[in-house]
Structure 1
Amino acid sequence: MSTNWNPDWESQLRRELSLLGVASITELVESYSNATYEDLARLLPGFAPIQIQKLHYEESGNINDPARGKFWKTSLIRYLMKHVPDGIRMHGDWPLILALGSWAGSMPETDQKFCSGIVRRFKRTAAAKADDWFPSEDDASFRELFDVKS
Structure 2
Amino acid sequence: MESNQISGILSILLGLIFIICPIFSTAFLSILIGLSLIFLGIAVILSGFSALNIVIGILAVLVGLVFVFNIAALSFIFGLQFYVIGIILILAGIVGLISDSQISKIASIFIIILGIISFALGGLSIGQPLFAAILIGVALIVQGVRLYLE
Please tell me whether Structure 1 or Structure 2 has the larger radius of gyration of its CA atoms: 2
Which structure ranks higher in relative contact order (CA pairs < 8 Å, sequence separation ≥ 6)? 2
